[in-house]
Structure 1
């Protein structure tokens, strides 16, 4: 399995390697375009991910949020400090453990999230949804659901 030193690393076939390179090129290019579009609108993709991670729960701990958004605890902690200063989120103490700090999205954070999501959604519609058929787009979602289910941590939403 590659991660075990006693087992040999698996090698991709030339065709698999080409598919992978195409995926990486398209994926990185897509993320760069999303980031450029959001930056031009004065928005941040990282803020969007963190706010989305906060919106579906009343409150979350930093470690839990980091796992949900697939970022390091230190990165999420820095983002939280910044968005708390902007009034997009607020810190709260845990009712069960006074040492544990929780974070929750504010009403202003929900408004900013809606603006971020609108810009992102328009970009995704133009660059991903429109060039694909409905079946291709559905299959893309199914493929990434399989990939996410196979990742350590079993792919948080």
Structure 2
């Protein structure tokens, strides 16, 4: 679309659906973040990094790969990792193969914290989302989310 073309505004129904989706995203993110903080002392950002590290068997990922995995700018990740190192949730390990590269690794304390936090997080996700939908609705939510994510990732 160029500047000369008229904007295809959303219809009333499209606008209601869009605003409901945005409201859901904001409220759900805020509720889950508050729940994580109150039960485990973890921020949503802490949790996201720790989950990404526990998703790999060795518990460590090259810094740039972690940034891609969680879709963060390197500077944001650098600041987050520094804060997490101070709290002994992760460590930074030099990369022997590449003197400029580094790994982010989950610490023993970080693993204990995420293992304690995850079950409570799952309970909240189940209570707020999974149990509010039928299995078919939840599966459709997954399909629609994947479809939109794929489209966003293909956009330039």
TM tier, smaller: 0.7 to 0.9
1:50 aligns with 2:64: no
Q: What's the offset of the Cα at 1:5? A: 5.8
Q: What's the offset of the Cα at 1:75? A: 1.7
Please give the alpha-carbon distance, in whole angstroms, between the structure 1 residues aligned to 2:90 and 2:98.
Answer: 20
Structure 1: state its 5+ residue gaps.
none
Q: What's the offset of the Cα at 1:85? A: 2.0
Q: TM-score, normalised by structure 2?
A: 0.85
Task: Report the RMSD for the aligned CA atoms in angstroms.
Answer: 2.1
The total of aligned residue pairs comes to 152
Residues 36 and 42 in structure 2, CA contact (< 8 A), matched pair in contact too? yes
Q: How does 1:25-104 map to 2 (within 5 A)?
A: 25-41=23-39, 42-57=41-56, 58=58, 59-104=60-105
Please give the alpha-carbon distance, in whole angstroms, between the structure 1 residues aligned to 2:96 and 2:144.
Answer: 40
Q: What's the offset of the Cα at 1:106? A: 2.0
Q: Give per-residue Cα distances to partners, 1:101-123, cap 9 Å, x unaligned.
A: 11111222121112222222111
Match of 1:23 in 2: 21
Structure 1 segments of 4 or more deviating over 4 A?
Answer: 4-10
1:111 aligns with 2:109: no
Report the secondary structure of 1:87's partner residue: coil
Between Structure 1 and Structure 2, which shows a larger proportion of helix residues?
2
Q: TM-score, normalised by structure 1?
A: 0.84
1:11 aligns with 2:9: yes
Please give the alpha-carbon distance, in whole angstroms, between the structure 1 residues aligned to 2:86 and 2:76.
Answer: 16
Structure 2: state its 5+ residue gaps.
none
